Amino acid sequence: MSAKVKPENARVAADRLAAEGGPRAVTAPRPTLWAHGPAEIGKEEIAAVRKVLERRMLFRFGLDRKESYAARFEDLMAKKTGARFALAMNSGTSALMAGLVGLGVSPGDEVLVPAYTYIATAAAVLALGAFPVIVDVDRSLMMDPQDLAKKITPRSCVVIPVHMRGSVCDMERILAVARRHKLRVLEDCAQANGATYRGRHVGTLGDAGAFSLQQSKVISAGEGGILITSDRRVFERAAFYHDSAYMFWMEKQGTPAEQRRRQRETFLGQNFRMPELLGAVAYEQLKKRDRILARTRAIKRRLWAACEDAFGPEALESPNDRAGDCGLAMTVFCESPAQAMEWARLLKAEGVNCGTRFSKEIPDRHVYYFWNYIMEKRTPHRNGFPWVSRDHPCMVQYDREMCPQTIHWMERAVLMPITQAMSDEYVRQVCTAIRKVGRWSSAH
């Protein structure tokens, strides 16, 4: 602030928007963004990786379950979520594919996915020869249960609700629709490790849940994934599929009768195994998860209060379970796409990290509109599989205007990402910036 400003004018000067030449509200250093788990890597991860290297056994099935980091990661994930079984893999996409196989998805089946999710959710379906049916999202920016009911056909098999950016889907209504139509539910929890719905961990509400450990997720090992389920049959089918030699590693596990049954039931698989180096990082990161989320949730409560003061309760996001939200972002809705651009511009000028959610000019792989290879039905296969097939022709049509609610809400949303690395001072200044822009917007 200029030294020439008289005290009685100081407040007015501080109120002047940075976009109009006033002082910036946020002056504290901006923390690293998009780093939740990875920002917390410390001596624990380093010691675990070192131990793996020093014992020179990088392969999980070369070790006893008690010794293997991949197995310990599975056991801790099962304990934290309350699921009976957990299966670590090399990516979230692998976890989705193994989960779909676990639930019995076959070529030609239709799998319902939301219009707002990372493209891998739909790609995992296609990799199995099944077809993604794109369901509109509601104001929560997640699968709309009403549109879900409309998109079901006799070929529908599985629903994949996706818990986006740490928030949770309207699971009660989604599960009710699924039950009515006898569909199974695979929760995509890639972005919501640690979120809960009515006190239950995501991934345990449906039949199975898939998580990712890629760099941008709550906790990370660079890559990696895990599937959880409490259904033994789903778990075993997923395990057979995740490793073409799973049976050999399991030869001595369980009773002789169980071993014989597994021998009879095993089928072809991939190699989606989790290596020990990944397991070591994943296990140590999982131990840090709840501390990270306690901080992001506390920050979100403060941003929520500031946004409510600034823009009014009607502008706030519509969470399906506010207490269970991971607190990875705060979203507000504007009356028009132009207003969203304006709010984002003013907030950015104040030093707030934020962005609008959708523009036809800026490709974002999280919005179906930009899923080009699906919209245009492209495939690596010479014979057109899976789109072209005599036995199971694709009955799904795609076009860029098919989910109007998604475009409507995304165009009006302004999102502010949250990380645990934001200092109290930084958060206080962001709240000041929000209130400042709010006062300006109610005066204009």
Q: Which chain residues interact with ligand PLP by CB under 6 A?
A: 91-93, 117-118, 120-121, 162, 188, 190-191, 212, 214, 223, 225
Structure tokens that stand for 155 in this block: 């070929």
User: Is 217 known to be catalytic?
Assistant: yes
Q: Compare residues 144 and 350 and give the one whose CB is closer to ligand PLP.
A: 144
Dihedral of CA 397/398/401/403: which sign?
Answer: positive
Query: Is the CB of 238 or the CB of 307 nearer to ligand PLP?
Result: 238
In this structure, are strands 156-159 and 184-188 parallel, antiparallel, or unpaired? parallel
What is the smallest separation between the CB atom of 120 and ligand PLP, expressed in angstroms?
4
Residue showing the smallest CB distance to ligand PLP in the complex: 92
Give the active site residue among 4, 80, 217, 288. Answer: 217
- Tokens (6 digits) for 399: 């076009």
CB nearer to ligand PLP: pick between 91 and 266 = 91
Nearer to ligand PLP, 9 or 372 (CB): 372
CB 412 within 8 A of CB 333: yes
Give the shortest CB-81-to-ligand PLP separation in angstroms: 17
Q: Which of 207, 187, 94 is nearest to 142 (CA)?
A: 187
CB of 189 to ligand PLP, least distance (A): 8
Q: Which of 221, 291, 268 is nearest to 80 (CA)?
A: 291
Nearer to ligand PLP, 217 or 302 (CB): 217
Least gap, CB of 355 to ligand PLP (angstroms): 17
CB 131 within 8 A of CB 125: yes
Task: Classify residue 19 by its DSSP letter.
Answer: G
Which position has the token pair 């050999």?
Answer: 248
SS3 per residue for 388-426: CCCCCCCCCCCCCCCCHHHHHHHHHEEEEECCCCCCHHH
Q: What are the residue numbers of the active site?
A: 217
